[in-house]
Amino acid sequence: MTVSADLLHHGDSDVVVGLVDLAVNVRSGGTPQWLLDRINQTDLSRYPDQRAALAAVASRHSRDIGEVLLTAGAAEAFVLLARALTPRKVAVIHPQFTEPEAALRAAGHPVHRVVLPFPFQLDPALVPEDADLVFLGNPTNPTSVAHARDAVTALIRPGRLVVVDEAFTDCLPGEPESLAAIDDLAGLIVIRSLTKSWALAGLRIGYLLAEATLVRRLATAQPLWPVSSPALTACVATAGAHALAEVDAWARRLAGQREVLCSALADVAGLRVVAPSCASFVLIQTDRPDLRMQLQRKGFAVRRGETFPGLDAGWIRVAVRDEIVSASFSAAIRMVLADG
């Protein structure tokens, strides 16, 4: 099955050298130095041994080791699920990150799109009753909406598997909507990534949490040594108490910066911001399909919206950065919209 170019478009393609990057949604400021130092100490002469990383991730989410499958980023988890599962009807809740649908289509699964209307809150009743595999993101890229845990668990049914991509869940201090530590994982797969909150996009490390039987089945679809030793080191390092406190502090700072950006944009005429925003980006709508290009002329690269099912060229996604960047960005967008 062919996969459209739109589904394969990602924010890094919207980055323009020399412009302020508001297109990519990975934590700004780079990987923390202490984490780089830990990763750099990894012994590369041996084959990867997952035991410590599995134990660290399991303990971080109060799970059994058998419920954890380490993957080369969330992206590998999507592909594994698409290749290993044999659903009768797959529903993908949009707008959301397009890679799950791309992986499903590439593996030959027809996809039923559930497109949430503005303001993009999850309504479980919109998902067809006969869907036996359902994908959603929480908080969702690109809407920045966090769905209540209860709305997500309301999707679970006998005979159905719900896959929730929590790549951005640690943007919310205390992860209130995360299902990673839910008592019973029956009917649920939780996908996590170290990419966003630790700025480790190049390392390729994430994991999924699922019932042990399912984890074992998915593991057989992985190649030998699917996760590199440096990535395993990062798993151990970011699961400890020190790291969890640091990510919590980062999420609190991010919340403050997001508040600054959203209030700077709140009174701009002709612009609508999806609220409440809960991740490291905000989604904006105007009636100006040329907005992204006009912003480039003012020095800002933003993520285009039209490649996300359910959005069009009037939408852009803007990364949350520091107060100074947000002030100059809101001044630029104000100018563009005022110029008409």
Ligand X SMILES: Cc1ncc(COP(=O)(O)O)c(C=O)c1O
Give residues in contact with ligand X (CB under 6 A): 73-75, 97, 137, 141, 165, 167, 193, 195, 201, 206
Cis peptide before 95 (omega within 30 of 0): yes
Cα–Cα distance measured from residue 308 to residue 285, given in angstroms and rounded to the nearest whole number:
13
Contact status, residue 202 vs residue 72, Cβ threshold 8 Å: no
Cα–Cα distance measured from residue 126 to residue 154, given in angstroms and rounded to the nearest whole number:
12
Look at the alpha carbons of 316, 72, 100, 254 in this order and tell me if their dihedral is positive or negative. Answer: negative
Cα–Cα distance measured from residue 318 to residue 51, given in angstroms and rounded to the nearest whole number:
39
Contact status, residue 122 vs residue 152, Cβ threshold 8 Å: yes
DSSP element (H, E) containing 165: strand 161-165
Minimal distance, residue 279 CB to ligand X, in Å: 9
160 — phi, psi (to 5°)? -120, 145
Q: Which of 230/336 has CB closer to ligand X?
A: 230
Q: Which of 82/201 has CB closer to ligand X?
A: 201
Q: Which of 57/271 has CB closer to ligand X?
A: 57
Residue showing the smallest CB distance to ligand X in the complex: 73
Q: Looking at the DSSP assignment, which residues form a beta bridge with residue 206?
A: 71, 193
Minimal distance, residue 94 CB to ligand X, in Å: 12
Q: Which of 73/268 has CB closer to ligand X?
A: 73
Minimal distance, residue 11 CB to ligand X, in Å: 7
Minimal distance, residue 138 CB to ligand X, in Å: 9
Minimal distance, residue 6 CB to ligand X, in Å: 15
Q: Which of 26/268 has CB closer to ligand X?
A: 26
Q: Which of 26/325 has CB closer to ligand X?
A: 26
Q: Which of 107/337 has CB closer to ligand X?
A: 107
Minimal distance, residue 30 CB to ligand X, in Å: 16
Q: Looking at the DSSP assignment, which residues form a beta bridge with residue 161?
A: 133
Minimal distance, residue 195 CB to ligand X, in Å: 3
* Lateral strand order in the sheet of 315-319: 20-22, 300-304, 315-319, 281-285, 272-273
Task: Classify 44 as helix, strand or coil.
Answer: coil
Burial of 224 per CB tally in 10 Å (0-12, 13-18, 19+): exposed
